Chain A
Amino acid sequence: MTALIEVEGVSKAFGGLQALNLCSLTVETGTVAGLIGPNGSGKTTLFNVMTGYERVRQGTVRFKGDSITNATPDRVFKLGIGRTFQLTRIFPRLTAMENMLIATQHREGWLGSVFRTAASLGPERDRAMELLQFVGIAALANQPAGILSYGQRKLLELAYVLVADPDVLLLDEPAGGVNPSLINHLAEKIRELNAQGKTFLVVEHNMEFVMGICDSLTVMNQGAAIVTGTPAEVQANPQVLDAYLGGADEEEGD
């Protein structure tokens, strides 16, 4: 198995706060990798760095062997890395379908879009509808996304990053704040997509969810990756417990 994404020695500070400290991570092609760790360990920051929402001066990020360090978010998206956010970022005043169409548009030239009416996008609409059906919210296609429930928004966000047919998806707390039946539904979809060949890196706090779908887990603490292994290995590792509860001599991990 080849490494799809390689993060090496990334450091990022916000003022006096060291969010990432020589963090390294590898995501193997075709796996569902999990990223866990206590709050404040730097998981979302790492995501932001990997997808171009934060810049770094130290460390590299490689995708399929090529460097994408400090690439802009849209370039990262175009290269085939999709990403969802902890607090879902959808376009509330656009319908669910229209949300999808925004993600499809990057394939065409800019000038063309001025003259293309929404109606003429037959094949794209079909694909968008397919994806909406896949995640299960097709019935809401023509509703303004703002009225979608929290769980439905997560599904919408998943759908529209899928539109670009990415090779790898970075999901930031996909199960957070979502009811149990929806969590199962989500896990199912991830497995289906993985079976189709997509790679995943999932940040989560929901241990059951993570243990259930991940092939490998990486644990972060205080800005660095401390343990990587299969879920079973990680569960058994005393360092992990320390990280979550805070060692006797350290301050409480917040």
Chain B
Amino acid sequence: MTILYQGLIDGVLTGAVYALMAAGLTLIFGVMDIINIAQGVFVVLAAYLSYVLAAHFGVDLFVGILITMPALFLLGIAVDWAFIRRLPATDRTTMSILVTYAVAIVVEGVLTVIFGVNYVQLHGWYVTKSIHLLGFYLPYIYVFGCGMAVLLMAAIYLMLYQTRFGRSIRASLQNRPAARLVGINVDRVATLTFGIGVAVTAAGGMVFGATTAFNPNSGYDLISRLLSIVILGGLGSMAGAMVAAISMLMVEDVVASVWSPLWSEVVFFAALVVVLTLRPQGLFGRSFSRAQ
């Protein structure tokens, strides 16, 4: 039984981190109708940045986020300006998938050239030590990571609901032409949203890098999980992404602990397939109208 609970707790903790990264992805879609396939490789990039800061400059991983997050924010803005803005108007969402996939490959290529294909992992005292609480082992990194993810998600939530900029985002999310009509610079909102959506990968990337050995190729696995999560939650729904992330990770960790780590990943995708067969729009997505 303890194994089961341990799995559940691990799932919640790691789920929160995935929730953060998925929230970024779904926010981008909600505001821009763009699916950012490069989100996975950005996580890996962020992990490498944390690595460089730690290994070459001795910067603590958590402190390093103060640098990597703005860096990734700027990267997001650059990508938006260079590629997303130039997307053709027709089939924009589908095209965005192809374009961001291409960007992901380029980034992966650059990382391969710089860092090679060997696996790396981030180090810190909190990676190897755990809290021993009520008979469960909670690695500090999970706990801190979860805490950080929750803080950031709360920050995003506050921004969305308490600031004027956040209102602009929500307006653009719900009705872009109307938002334009009331004077919101929708394009600028979009660019900044993209930046924010990418910036969250900095935090996620650090935790990911500290808990898993990674190399440039790790982006694929990440993006397939993130995509599964956002689709499961319903594209564009932040609440959905969070619920889906935590649920999926919980299921996966339980399966890994109780049954076998090999099959836990399969369960992840299988769950997606099952849910979509029953509810194609995801948990919180809008159902398709006939008039489309």
Contact = CB atoms under 8 A, between A and B. Distances in A.
Interface in A37-57: 48, 52-55
A247 B135 CA distance: 74
A55 B289 CA distance: 9
B114 interface: no
Contacts of A48: 291
Nearest to A48: B291
A57 to B, nearest CB: 15
A253 interface: no
Interface string B157-195: 000000000000000000000000000000000000000
A73 interface: yes
Contacts of A72: 290
Interface string A49-86: 00011110000000000000000110000000000000
Contacts of A53: 290-291
A78 to B, nearest CB: 16
Contacts, number: 10
Interface string B206-246: 00000000000000000000000000000000000000000
A55 B290 CA distance: 9
Interface string B271-292: 0000000000000000001110
Contacts of B289: 54
A16 to B, nearest CB: 14
A48 B289 CA distance: 12
Contacts of B290: 52-55, 72-73
A144 to B, nearest CB: 15
Nearest to A85: B291
B175 to A, nearest CB: 12
Interface residues of B, number: 3
A73 B290 CA distance: 9
A155 B291 CA distance: 22
Contacts of B291: 48, 53-54
Interface string A85-118: 0000000000000000000000000000000000
A84 to B, nearest CB: 14
A112 B291 CA distance: 28
Interface in A144-197: none
Contacts of A55: 290
Contacts of A73: 290
B290 to A, nearest CB: 5
Nearest to B290: A53
A53 B290 CA distance: 6
B288 to A, nearest CB: 12
Nearest to B289: A54
A54 B292 CA distance: 10
Interface in A9-55: 48, 52-55
A62 B291 CA distance: 21
B292 to A, nearest CB: 9
A79 B29 CA distance: 40
A54 B290 CA distance: 7
A73 B291 CA distance: 9
Interface in A105-144: none
A68 to B, nearest CB: 14
A50 to B, nearest CB: 13
Nearest to A53: B291
A189 B66 CA distance: 71
A90 to B, nearest CB: 16
A54 B289 CA distance: 8
Contacts of A52: 290
A73 B289 CA distance: 12
A4 B202 CA distance: 65
A72 B290 CA distance: 9
A37 to B, nearest CB: 21
A169 B291 CA distance: 19
A13 B290 CA distance: 16
B31 to A, nearest CB: 21
A48 B290 CA distance: 10
Nearest to A55: B290
A53 B291 CA distance: 5
A80 B195 CA distance: 53
Nearest to B292: A53
A20 to B, nearest CB: 15
B177 to A, nearest CB: 15
A73 to B, nearest CB: 7
Contacts of A54: 289-291
A143 B227 CA distance: 41
10 contacts: A48-B291, A52-B290, A53-B290, A53-B291, A54-B289, A54-B290, A54-B291, A55-B290, A72-B290, A73-B290
Interface of A: 48, 52-55, 72-73
Interface of B: 289-291
Given A52-B290, A54-B289, A72-B290, 4 more contacts: A53-B290, A54-B290, A55-B290, A73-B290
7 nearest A-B pairs in the assembled complex, by CB-CB distance: A53-B291, A53-B290, A48-B291, A73-B290, A54-B291, A54-B290, A52-B290
